[in-house]
Structures are given as structure tokens and as C-alpha cells.
Amino acid sequence: MEKQQKDIKNPEEYEIIPYSSEHLLQVARLMSPLWGDDIELNLKHFKWKHIDNPYLEHPLAIVALHEGKVVGSRAYFALKFRVGERNDFILLIPGDTVVHPKHQRKGLSVAMGKKAEEEYRSKYKVFLNFTSSPASLPGYLRLGFFPLAPKNLLTVFSKRKGLEDWMPTKAKNYLKKHKSRGFIQLLSRLRKILTSKKEMTLFGEFGNIIISDSPKPEDMVDVITKQNQKNQKIKLWQDEEFFQWRYLNPMGKYIFYYYRPDHSVTGYLVIRISPQNILRGHILDYAQSDNDTLEKILRYITESGYPENLFIPSYGLEENLLQTLKRLNLHERILTQKKKEHVSSEHQLLVRPIKENLVENDWFIDGLDIRNFENWEIKPICSDGD
């Protein structure tokens, strides 16, 4: 990302063009700082995200070439959104922006953003950015993006445990007598093994709670359809096609919680498990067709002890979830964090119409001002990074 926002230096050195399939391998290698050094996995990730994406005919990305080689890339993740009952449109999410270290601070990130606007404005309506940072924010503001809402990570609950909490009684007694460093390291490895086994036995039916490692598209769509949809908002369109594709991310690891009191599912909650820490979970998506299903699912999660730590981005905290957290006495932490966030936050969700010369009317869709966060229903699953 660009820290200094300026026009591209020495433009004759670079060619800014739309991505084509011949660039795929170079882009996969260039993405290593963001995606990791496993090039095969990067190729699978790109294929899932941009080639298999059901809302695109072909990948939307811009590359910067230097002497014919890819030295910069900016891609656009597509999702379908809906206003009201019928007005569907494809929303583009900028992300996966990388510039080779030797070519940074030359305005390539901004140049690729301008090229994307030029290429996509005839077909698409809105950019919604989830990936801005304090370093990249000035560049997005220069491109005309509007700060929609803070996007800090909120802690739903945290149950961090020390090593002794995971030890059998005999091991605890042994530790009291022999406090050796090697033994502590052994216990640390034991904890990882026990956690892995616990995760392996996580899935199954536990009373009315069903825990799975895969989505149930038909049931999830049924829950969403039965929800009260009186409010006119700009919201993610989630049908069976969406659920069948979205969770195939090869870099993602998800846990699906369903509540089924009788013969039908009345609600669900999806958690992404952090690849760096399997005890850390992030709420991505949730829905309920009644008033207490989410409470029952979250109560089960908090009492089960897995994951130990649960988080949600601030923009994804809808009123029904907040009320659920109140009933579980988990809301004070959340509200305290949100209060601090709105005083000072360098991390922002950004929005912009995809047009060259903006006028006031461009900021409205079906009479809704896209600069007003209250007009949106944005779930964490909308983020291209999850």
C-alpha cells in the first residue's frame, strides 16, 4: 500500500493494464506477503476467489508491469447485494493489493485504483473497502472513498487459560515438585495435542445444537427467508449458490453451529478459526428466524470452552446480536470497546460509487445514501479476507 499519495513517478517505466490469465502465476507469487509462500495454495485461493466467483464472468484485477513483468496487483472481490425485494447489484470489494518492494512509493497502488475505476464504472455501482489501514487510508481518500464506519475488532469473550488449567492432577503435582523448563515445554506441546483432539471431536449433534464443518445452504437460506425483513437496507444477497461457494475458500477454516429444536433449523452462527491460533474464533455470519436461537447457540459456545476467545468486527454487530449479548451478560465489554472506537479509530470501512466525476446523486441507491452506515446491513462474511 502507498504511504505517500502521489501520481505515478516515471509513468513510461510502467504499464497499468487489466489482469489476464497469462499473469496468474506471477500474481500468485507476488501475493506471498499477503497470502504466504505456498504458491500452489495461492493459485487455488485466486481461483476460488476470482475465477470460480459466481458473480463474475472473469477475474477483476489490475496489474502493474515493469519490463513485461508483474510488479503490482490490485484485485476486486465481487458479491451480490440487494436493496429491498428486487434491486440486485454486484458490489466490488478492493483488496489483495501488493506492490513489489523494489517498486513501492512510486504511486502504483493509486494508479491501479484509478485504472480499476476507469475499467469498471460502466458495469458496476459501488466499491466497498474492508482492508484499509492507517498507512493506506490517505490513498483511498485521494481516490474519493468515504469513511463509512470504524472496523475495529471487538472481543465477545475471552477465556484464556494457563497451562495448569489443561493439566491432569498428577501433572500439576509433578510440576509443583519439578519446575523444569523442559517439562513446561512438554506440557505446552501436550496442550496443543489435547486441543487438536478436542477440535476433532467437536462436530456432531449435542441436544438441539448441530456443529458441522460445512454449510447447510438450504437450511441457512430458509432461516434468512423467515427473518423479519421490514427494514429497507442495502444487504448481502445470500442464496444457496452463495453458501455453496463462499465457504470453499482453501485458506479458510470454519465451524457452523445450527439450532434445530424440531425438524427445522431456526438459526445458525458461523465462526472462522484463526489459522495462527485454533483457539481464536471470529464470528462471520449469523441469522435466526425467532428471538432466542442465537442466545442458545452462543450460550452453548461460551459453556463449551471452545473457542477460548471469540471476536467480531464492529461493523458486523447488528441489533439482534447485541440484544443476545445483553441477555448473556456479554454486552458491557462490547459497548465499552465501541465507545472507545468511535472516539478514535484509524481503521475504517470505506465506500465509493464507481464513477469518474461524482455528483451528489451518485451516492444514492434507491433513495438510500450509501454514506450512511444505518442504511447498510454488512455482515463480516462480506469481507474478502475471511
pLDDT tens digits for 96-110?
Answer: 999 999 999 899 998
Single pTM value for the model: 0.84
pLDDT grade for 335, boundaries at 50, 70 and 90: confident
pLDDT digits (tens, 9 = 90+) for 30-47: 999 999 999 999 999 999
For residue 9, the model assigns a pLDDT of 58
Q: How many Å is the Cα radius of gyration of the chain?
A: 23
Report d(CA 236, CA 196) in Å as an integer: 34
pLDDT grade for 4, boundaries at 50, 70 and 90: very low
> Sign (positive/negative) of CA torsion 220, 291, 316, 235?
positive
pLDDT grade for 151, boundaries at 50, 70 and 90: confident
Instruction: Give the long-range contacts of residues 318-322, CB within 8 A, separation 24 or more.
Output: 318/377, 320/288, 320/294, 321/283, 321/286, 321/294
pLDDT digits (tens, 9 = 90+) for 206-241: 999 999 999 999 999 999 999 866 678 999 999 999
Report d(CA 74, CA 243) in Å as an integer: 25
Report d(CA 249, CA 49) in Å as an integer: 7
The yes-or-no verdict on residue 129 having pLDDT over 70 is yes
Q: What is the DSSP letter of 7?
A: P
Report d(CA 236, CA 384) in Å as an integer: 13
> Sign (positive/negative) of CA torsion 143, 148, 150, 155?
negative
User: What φ, ψ does residue 218 adopt, rounded to 5°?
Assistant: -65, -45
For residue 55, the model assigns a pLDDT of 96
**Domains parsed from the chain with CATH numbers:** 11-151+346-382 (3.40.630.30), 154-343 (3.40.630)
